[in-house]
A and B are shown apart, each in its own frame.
Chain A
């Protein structure tokens, strides 16, 4: 008797079939459908400049969403991102008042973001506090500092060169923000899906205890992720401040929920352990297209938030209902 070699497949279905059934495929279909509906509904939609303007609806939030996606995959969350944007913007305003030029302003924005991220990271990773509690606290703390500094005032008069980040174009209709968005998508996509760090992040999110026993320095991973989220919030703060040309303490109010919405719509499990960066990119596009399309039709903002809420629940519920009906 010759031993018959038994082939054990890596996957039960072919990669192509899996890709078709994936969350990303669903989102891509939704995005294309919205694109087609929008171009039918409004004669102004298919205009390169208008589409370019529309990207501002999501670029800054999406930059933060990439880092937030990794954080949520690792089973943590950061609700202080909007407040970090406000504090970083306020710090840049103070530096600007002290006479700083554009390079220094950028450095101040990044440094403030990193410092806030490190603060969150230490409280979560070093002292073992739940991230949702810590970041609800720092959400008030960071924004509170901005309010103390600014009160009902504002920083205005940023140097002309600084406007490049939020108002500039690289070529034709491609904005600087769109390029930063694309680059961050690539960096975070590679980081999460193509590096050992990305795999440890997923391991921590799936089972932190098992990950710790496997020799992963769980706290270090968590700290780095908070640092990255702070850094991306700093970058978003630079873009947003540059786009608005001014700082008020209410800047980026409510960003945290919109960022988390993009991440969840992107198919990242809110319980941690799974999620992809391409999914988040598509979710950002869907959100941007929906809000801009409805805006072109002058749909009131209240109806718009109902549509976004319905979209979120619909996209999350439909696959679940589909599986339930098939397993019956």
Chain B
């Protein structure tokens, strides 16, 4: 018994040591999620692995705490710093609380970037946003216009009158509305991001504007409620619902035809781009400074603004062709 144990222990030790020796110094990039077990981040990891395969010689360490706490994420970061990984790409649970730990990481020569959910500027070299307000504003009206070759009336169903994100996106949408001359925005209503209120507001829109061709809801609550209202009113095919939503919640409405298409960030592309950027910064091929342009493989390139933030791309469009693939992801 004890001999067997000794042999097993020795074998285990030896294999660990050999694994250590066999490592031919690949660049190790840690992709840190807000918490493990969330489809969005698992998908981002898929993108990171794709980038690693493309770059070659890159090892992805996908990790994160069990729940979305800053303290848990710091324990994970400490372990990564101790392993002297080459780069850390983190989606932060707390903008400020991670700063001291990430500063220490940078002091020890580790490249630190944040993605999805950002870290305060002093705690990272750059932050990758999935998209930007102008790109989102343009995308939501484009999605409505693409289904209306003849043009027609559209209305906006937003969250609350004070929702900063939605207000910015609608403002950006109005700026580019001139590019879509046939599309006529007739009203903006507010469902307060409540399912029942959004549903009633969508019903009201269809009653007060009988010729309405599309409802644009740049909120994940509003878009589902509007699609349901259109379905219940028997107006599938007459009124198209679009905007920003989650594939898992919108799959049924895309299949029923209540929504031809909608948009949201693609987590796979986000993980892919974050890995590309981390690699270019850690290898010294790119510098994280205002105005710098960093290539991100198949996604093109990003340009850093004065806060060292960058927008990845247009929101990704989901429709009947890809909804099944993503509805199980997030």
A contacts, CB < 8 Å to B: 40-45, 47, 49-50, 53-54, 56-57, 154, 156, 163, 166-167, 240, 243-246, 248, 250-254, 291-292, 295-296, 298, 300-302, 304-305
Contact = CB atoms under 8 A, between A and B. Distances in A.
Contacts of B76: 295, 301
A250 B100 CA distance: 18
Counting chain B residues whose Cβ lies within 8 A of the other chain, the interface size class is 20 to 34
Given A245-B97, A298-B63, A254 B78 contact: no
A57 B20 contact: no
B75 interface: yes
Contacts of A254: 67, 69
B66 A301 contact: yes
A251 B110 CA distance: 26
Contact of A296 (B64, B66, B83, B100): B83
A305 B94 contact: no
Given A40-B13, A154-B96, A163-B100, A250 B69 contact: yes
B75 A244 contact: no
Nearest to A167: B100
A42 B79 CA distance: 11
Nearest to A253: B69
A60 to B, nearest CB: 9
B81 A53 contact: yes
Contact of A44 (B13, B72, B75, B82): B82
Interface string B73-104: 01110110111100000000011110110000
A302 B78 contact: no
Contacts of B37: 302
B79 A298 contact: yes
Nearest to B99: A245
Contacts, number: 98
15 contacts: A49-B82, A154-B94, A154-B96, A167-B100, A243-B100, A245-B96, A245-B99, A248-B97, A251-B97, A252-B71, A292-B78, A292-B79, A296-B79, A300-B64, A301-B36
Contacts of A50: 82
Nearest to A250: B69
Contacts of B99: 245-246
A154 B95 contact: yes
Interface of B: 12-13, 16, 20, 35-37, 61, 63-67, 69-72, 74-76, 78-79, 81-84, 94-97, 99-100, 120
Contact of A298 (B61, B71, B75, B100): B61
B71 A301 contact: no
Contacts of A41: 16
Contacts of A53: 78, 81-82
Contacts of B69: 250, 253-254
A301 B82 contact: no
A54 B82 contact: yes
Contacts of A296: 79, 82-83
A56 B66 contact: no
B44 to A, nearest CB: 15
A56 B70 CA distance: 13
A166 B71 CA distance: 13
Contacts of B70: 244, 248, 250-251
A8 to B, nearest CB: 42
A301 B64 contact: yes
Contacts of A54: 78, 82
Most buried by A among B13, B37, B82, B120: B82
A57 B63 CA distance: 17
B97 A246 contact: yes
Given A44-B83, A251-B70, A296-B83, A244 B78 contact: no
Given A42-B83, A245-B97, A301-B63, 5 more contacts: A244-B94, A292-B82, A295-B82, A300-B64, A302-B37
